[in-house]
Amino acid sequence: MICTRRRVKPLYGIANLPANGLRMAHMPTVAEQLRTAREARKLTVHEIAETTKIRTDHIRALESGDYDVFTAPVYIRGFVRTYSTLLKLDVPQVMAALEGELGQTEKFSEPPPLSSEPRGAVDFVMLQLSRVNWQKGLVVIIIAGLMLVLLIVIWAWRKHRSTDPLSDLPPAVYQSPQQSGDTLPLPAPGR
């Protein structure tokens, strides 16, 4: 066994009590939980990477708590959820701890809201529209439009068929032509 000079901190115990006495014991960070769970299962970083399809440098960053490697917190949350599910950890507890850790970082803490005004009906409608799957929604809109056009055509055809074509003519008096029906014009000679 090789001895190193690195001092190992115990995870729980009286030595880790904070000075203010608010917390009972030191809770391991998400990085510590992931690393110790992986080591307890005797898995390598490469095996985890192969199984989860997470890059090895990202796994190492998660296990060291170096979240600055990631561009957005959504990647951190997704990778930690996948990783902790694979290791059969308590995912809600790990995710809650991760939210607490991300809230303490400057890069990934949530910005304050842009306005203090309550959200209105327009915001609700825009949120619902953003959730629409437009591939399926477009098909539904096209079908509804075609049905609307078909209903309008049927209504116009029925209305046209049920009306009297002579109803728009004003009443008239029959006038007989100057010639009576006794004489007929003769055809021109040579035909």
pLDDT at 75: 92
Q: How many helices (H) and strands (E) does the chain have?
A: 7, 0
pLDDT at 37: 94
Helices 45-52 and 73-86 pack at an angle, to 10 degrees, of 110
d(CA 151, CA 156): 9
Instruction: Classify each residue of 89-105 as buried b or exposed e, where b means 16 or more C-beta atoms within 10 Å of its C-beta.
Output: beeeebbebbeebbeee
pLDDT at 184: 66
Low-confidence ranges of the chain (pLDDT < 70): 1-26, 110-116, 165, 173-185, 191
pLDDT at 85: 94
Helix (H) or strand (E) holding 142, with range, is: helix 134-162
pLDDT at 56: 93
Residue 98 Cα distances to 64, 79, 143, angstroms: 13, 11, 46
pTM for the model stands at 0.47
